[in-house]
Structure 1
Amino acid sequence: MSSLFCCGSAKAYRPQHLDHEAKFTAFMTWAVFPNASSLNTSNDEGVNLADLKPPYAVQLVRQVNYGPLESRRYFIPVEGKDEAFIEIAEDDLIRANFQKLNSYKNFKCDEHNEFFEVNLYQKDPTNKHHWRANLARPANSIDL
C-alpha cells in the first residue's frame, strides 16, 4: 500500500485552521506515503497504549462519497521518530480510555468519488474513580 488515500489527488474539503493543526499536518504528511512496516500490527493481543503513552490518536474514515463506509482505521504517533505512526485497533483505544475530540478535517477525491474524515482522539482526563459508562465503553462490559 503506497498511500492511505485512494490517490494523491485528495484535497481538503471546506478547509479550516484548527487548534490541533500541527497534529493533522503531521499525520497527513506521513499518510501520503506511510512506511509499510509501521502499518503492520497483526498481533492478536493488541497494543498496550499505557506503555506507549501516545499524546493522541488519529482515526481515518474512508467511504464512497455519500455511500457506504469502506474502512475505519486508527493510528498513533511513534515517540522518537519524526512524523511516524503505527496502526492500532479500536479496542486498544477503548482499553486506554481515549475519547474523540471535537476536532476533525475532511478530504475529498473527485477523481475516485471518495470521502475521507480524519478525527483526533485523546486520553480522557477524568478520574477513573468517578468513571461511568459511555458509548466507547458499554455498561454491560463493566464488572462491579
Structure 2
Amino acid sequence: MSSFCCSFITPYREARLMHETKFQRFMAWAGNSQSSPVSNSDSYFRNPNNVPEFAVQFVQQVNYGPVEAKRYFIPDPDSFAESQGGFLEVTEQDLIIGNFQKLNAYKNYKCGAHNKFFELNLYQKDPVNQHHWRFNISRPASDIDI
C-alpha cells in the first residue's frame, strides 16, 4: 500500500473492538504490500450479489496537522484465503453507490519518528430495509414518484 511512512507505527490508545479481525487483516496486508491495485469498482458495487463485506478508510495526517491522504479499500474478492487476502483501492463515490455507512469502529496509529498520525475507519453496507419507499436520505424527495 505504501501509505505508511515506515514500519515502526504503533497503536495509539489501543482498544480491542468487535471488528478486530477486519482491522488485523487490513494491517497485515498494509504492512506487507508495496502497492494497491485500483479496482474497477463498478462491478463490485453495482451488482447486489457481489457487494464487499466491509471497507476501510485510511486517513494519514501530520500529527495535529492537515490531512495528507484519505483512501478507501475493500477486500479483494479474487483472494482465495480470506484471512490472508489482499485489498483493492476504491473511491469515496464507490462507497456512496454501494450505500456504505461509517461504523463506530476505528483504530488510530502514530509514528513518532515522522510525526504522522493514521486513522482507520470501518464502513459496511447500510443494513436498512430497501423495501421502504425512501431508503436513502440523500435521495431528493423530488425524485420519488407518488
Q: TM-score range by the shorter chain?
A: 0.7 to 0.9
Structure 2's unaligned 5+ residue stretches are none
What are the residue-to-residue correspondences of 1:1-144 with 2, within 5 Å? 3-34=2-33, 36=35, 38-41=36-39, 46=42, 48-51=44-47, 52-81=50-79, 82-128=84-130, 129=132, 130-133=134-137, 137=138, 143-144=143-144
Distance 2:91 2:70 in 1: 10
Please list the CA deviations of residues 82-114 of structure 1 after superposition, one character each: whole Å capped at 9, or x if unmatched. 320000000000011000000000000011110
SS at the partner of 1:112?
A: coil
**Greater CA radius of gyration, 1 or 2?**
2
Q: What displacement does 1:34 show? A: 1.9
Q: Is 1:29–1:83's contact at 8 Å kept on the other side of the alignment?
A: no
The CA deviation at 1:140 is 5.2
- Any idea what SS the aligned residue of 1:120 has? strand
Tell me, which stretches of 5 or more residues in structure 1 are unaligned?
none
Name the amino acid aligned to 2:62.
Answer: V
2:30 partner amino acid? A
TM-score normalised by length of structure 2: 0.83
Q: Distance in 2 between matches of 1:127 and 1:70?
A: 36
Q: Is the 8 A contact 1:4 1:32 kept in 2?
A: no
Could you list the structure 1 runs, at least 4 aligned residues long, displaced by more than 4 angstroms after superposition.
139-142
State the superposition RMSD in angstroms.
Answer: 2.2
Q: How many residue pairs get matched?
A: 136
Identity in percent? 49
Indicate if the aligned counterparts of 2:76 and 2:86 stay in contact, CA closer than 8 A. Answer: yes
